[in-house]
Chains A and B, each alone.
Chain A
Amino acid sequence: MKFTEITSENVEEFSAYIDADTADDLDRTFFRSIGALGDDDAPVGAIVYELKNSENEDDTKSRIILLEGIDDEVTEQLLDEYKKELSEDEVTESYYETSNETLYKLLSDNGFSGEQEEGEEISVSVEDLRKLNGVFKVKSFPEYIKSISELSTLQYRSFIKNCLFRGKYGILEDLSYLPKSWFETEVSSCAVVDDTVQGILLIRKNPSGKLIAQLYVDIGPDSRRNLLLILAYSCRKITELYPEGTEVIVRRHSDAVRKLTDKLLSDPKGDKVYCGTRSEE
């Protein structure tokens, strides 16, 4: 079996194994992908993973996002190849989160721990957001709350730098490498005071049409008020621009996000998923 690096140039060949949303991320700075090729050079499997802390002094970790193969032998060989690649990046630990029981069993057979728990991601419908519009009770938004489409590049980059230098990344390891256009600029909102961005809610639209919240932060003196207003603004925009069936994904990666979703949504629950880790040292 041969292995090859999968990039945006050859990802189409692996479309049987890599879905459109995952394929869309392959160009991102910390995403890696290895494809397995059978004897006739036809794709037979793929693994996609994201490195964490690879550019700083902390231990580098790898999050396995996808592992698919034509059979168990392929997936096991992919895992072996993956392990070799990890040593080059000095990865100390791998981890995963999946709802796929077969994958969970395969990873468990290959040294990963595993247990079932509630997943970080929750899905919110446009209908839920319409109800939230009622909860927020914002009749009209002040002038300083706007879509990020109205921001200049300087304003956007200045704010992102301020966030990064304060250690605020949201769920984006590569926030410093992502341009404003990577986000859905009409539904992503911000608070601009004294010509400076103070707060932002960045939302990305995947090829499958899902909207995913990426960064939600305000660093100004009126952060509480601004956070509420920018959230209300984005919710209003989504309900105006997107059809009923649109899914909005929120990854509850921190306690603060969990508390917010618990407060705003009735009984938000993530799907049951399998999670596990493996030491790579």
Chain B
Amino acid sequence: MSDVGYVSLYVNTVAIMLCLGVHVLVWKFKMKDIREKRVFLYLLGDIVVMSLFYILCTFRDDGVIPCNKLGAMFLETGLEMAINIFALIWFLYVDYRMFHSVGHIKRNAVIIMVPLLLAVLMNIINIPTKFLFDYDMSEMHVVETSFYVFLDVIRLAYFIVSIIILVIRKRKDERMKFFSIGAFIIPSVFYVFLYYFTPFPTVSLGLTIAVTLLYAEMVNEKCYQDEKTGFYNMLYLDYLKKRIAENKYDLRSILMFNVPESEMEKSSPLITKQLPEFCDTIRCGKDKLIILSRVKDKGPLTMLSEDVKMSLEEAGIAVESSFKLKKKNETAESFLEDFMRNA
């Protein structure tokens, strides 16, 4: 086998092993959103399939496995389809992670899916027509036509657009802090630079690194969560204190609920249902929850307090609540410190 072949074999074997390892970890990971978990597992599964096709293509090119023209074209087409399908699942995953809306995906299904489904169709039509690529049996390598660039452009566009929408969304949505841009840039970098400027097929490795990074971010996010309730924990409060000190978090009000410790786990889904977006809920004691927000008026806090109380009282859970607004000349830091001291 050639040197390029050996490198390709090692790179893709590493990608498969890493992927299978992450697969097991994700399977065991307690993710609240089953849909998100399922899509993530599809991503991992596709990388394994893609890496296997890369290995088989390497063996084909180096003559390790005997292959006729049809077989060679089938292997290449299979690889192309796996890359296309990965790009599609990736984009669906990104969209869902950002907006948590199946309705949004359905309504934009045409825009999201049609370009890549077109790419899949092009791959199928290519088998008899060879208008995208052909396999040269004498030289044992793929020969791409000038139309092939369209396929690359479509796939690359999906990765680049996912970066752009993440960047835009991150600015608006504080909840995206556990979702780094690095995981999005890596596949594009591997795809553009390493795939085009080196002879080594490293796409699957790039994607594996990206999903591993995403998994690491999920685990990191979980460290900030209270295991029993799913709300944030005191570690997260420390993180917020740093952000407040850096003027990166506009704290204007704090709402507190006292829920009996024995009822805390039962009440957490009921409270979550009433919580609006753009506030942080932290379990800061066995029977205390605090909600930090940018709201500066009593009205919304009263509304939230009433809704939570009503919801818990209907379930037979007694709850006390209170809230405080930051004073005009008070800093957010001292406001939080005073509140926690007296809580």
A57 with B328: in contact, given A144-B103, A162-B277, A165-B278 (CB under 8 Å)?
Answer: yes
Inter-chain contact A161/B307, CB cutoff 8 Å: yes
B296 (CB) vs chain A CBs: closest residue: A56
Is A167 in contact with chain B by the CB < 8 A criterion? yes
> Cβ of A55: which chain B residues have Cβ within 8 Å of it?
297-299, 325
B169 (CB) vs chain A CBs: closest residue: A221
Query: Of the candidates B103, B274, B299, B326, which one forms a contact with A174 in the assembled complex, judged by CB atoms under 8 Å apart?
Result: B299
A177–B104 CA distance with the chains assembled, in angstroms: 31
Q: State the Cβ distance, B74 to closest chain A Cβ, in Å.
A: 39
Inter-chain contact A176/B277, CB cutoff 8 Å: no
Inter-chain contact A56/B297, CB cutoff 8 Å: yes
> Cβ of A174: which chain B residues have Cβ within 8 Å of it?
299
A222–B293 CA distance with the chains assembled, in angstroms: 25
B295 (CB) vs chain A CBs: closest residue: A165
Is B137 in contact with chain A by the CB < 8 A criterion? no
Inter-chain contact B307/A194, CB cutoff 8 Å: no
A193 with B103: in contact, given A164-B295, A164-B303, A166-B278 (CB under 8 Å)?
Answer: yes
Query: Of the candidates B100, B103, B273, B294, which one forms a contact with A165 in the assembled complex, judged by CB atoms under 8 Å apart?
Result: B294
Encode B80-115 as 1/0 by CB contact (under 8 A) with A: 000000000000000000111111100110000000
A201–B252 CA distance with the chains assembled, in angstroms: 28
B253 (CB) vs chain A CBs: closest residue: A56
Is B276 in contact with chain A by the CB < 8 A criterion? yes
Inter-chain contact A220/B104, CB cutoff 8 Å: yes
Inter-chain contact B296/A176, CB cutoff 8 Å: no
Q: State the Cβ distance, A133 to closest chain B Cβ, in Å.
A: 23
A170–B108 CA distance with the chains assembled, in angstroms: 29
Residues 3-32 of A contacting B (Cβ, < 8 Å): 29
Is B199 in contact with chain A by the CB < 8 A criterion? no
Residues 277-319 of B contacting A (Cβ, < 8 Å): 277-279, 293-300, 302-304, 307
Is B242 in contact with chain A by the CB < 8 A criterion? no
> Cβ of A56: which chain B residues have Cβ within 8 Å of it?
252, 296-298, 325
Residues 151-201 of A contacting B (Cβ, < 8 Å): 154, 157-158, 160-162, 164-167, 174-177, 193-194
Is B327 in contact with chain A by the CB < 8 A criterion? yes
Inter-chain contact B299/A222, CB cutoff 8 Å: no
A190–B296 CA distance with the chains assembled, in angstroms: 26
Q: State the Cβ distance, A15 to closest chain B Cβ, in Å.
A: 30
Is A41 in contact with chain B by the CB < 8 A criterion? no
> Cβ of A221: which chain B residues have Cβ within 8 Å of it?
98-99, 101, 104
Interface size classification for chain B: 20 to 34
Query: Of the candidates B101, B296, B304, B326, which one forms a contact with A161 in the assembled complex, judged by CB atoms under 8 Å apart?
Result: B304
Inter-chain contact A161/B300, CB cutoff 8 Å: yes
Q: State the Cβ distance, A165 to closest chain B Cβ, in Å.
A: 4
Inter-chain contact A222/B276, CB cutoff 8 Å: no
Query: Of the candidates A157, A166, A176, A193, which one forms a contact with B299 in the assembled complex, judged by CB atoms under 8 Å apart?
Result: A176
Query: Of the candidates A29, A57, A157, A193, which one forms a contact with B101 in the assembled complex, judged by CB atoms under 8 Å apart?
Result: A193
> Cβ of B304: which chain A residues have Cβ within 8 Å of it?
161
Query: Of the candidates B99, B108, B299, which one forms a contact with A164 in the assembled complex, judged by CB atoms under 8 Å apart?
Result: B299
Q: State the Cβ distance, A224 to closest chain B Cβ, in Å.
A: 12
Q: State the Cβ distance, B281 to closest chain A Cβ, in Å.
A: 12
A157 with B307: in contact, given A55-B297, A165-B276, A165-B295 (CB under 8 Å)?
Answer: yes
Inter-chain contact A58/B296, CB cutoff 8 Å: yes
Q: State the Cβ distance, A190 to closest chain B Cβ, in Å.
A: 14
> Cβ of B279: which chain A residues have Cβ within 8 Å of it?
165
A161 with B328: in contact, given A194-B101, A194-B102 (CB under 8 Å)?
Answer: no
Inter-chain contact B327/A57, CB cutoff 8 Å: yes
Residues 240-271 of B contacting A (Cβ, < 8 Å): 252
Inter-chain contact A194/B103, CB cutoff 8 Å: yes
A57 (CB) vs chain B CBs: closest residue: B328
> Cβ of B294: which chain A residues have Cβ within 8 Å of it?
165, 167
A193 (CB) vs chain B CBs: closest residue: B103
Q: State the Cβ distance, B335 to closest chain A Cβ, in Å.
A: 10
Encode A133-153 as 1/0 by CB contact (under 8 A) with B: 000000000001000000000
Q: State the Cβ distance, B101 to closest chain A Cβ, in Å.
A: 5
> Cβ of B297: which chain A residues have Cβ within 8 Å of it?
55-56, 164, 176
17 contacts between A and B (CB under 8 A): A57-B325, A57-B328, A58-B296, A58-B328, A161-B276, A161-B307, A164-B295, A164-B299, A165-B279, A166-B277, A174-B299, A175-B299, A193-B103, A194-B102, A221-B98, A221-B101, A222-B104
CB-based closest 8 A-B pairs:
A176-B299, A164-B300, A193-B103, A56-B296, A161-B276, A57-B328, A55-B298, A165-B276
Instruction: Please name 13 further chain A to chain B contacts, defined as beta carbons within 8 Å, in addition to the given A175-B299, A194-B100, A222-B104, sorted by A numbering.
Output: A56-B252, A57-B296, A57-B326, A58-B296, A144-B103, A154-B273, A158-B274, A160-B303, A161-B276, A165-B294, A177-B299, A221-B99, A222-B108
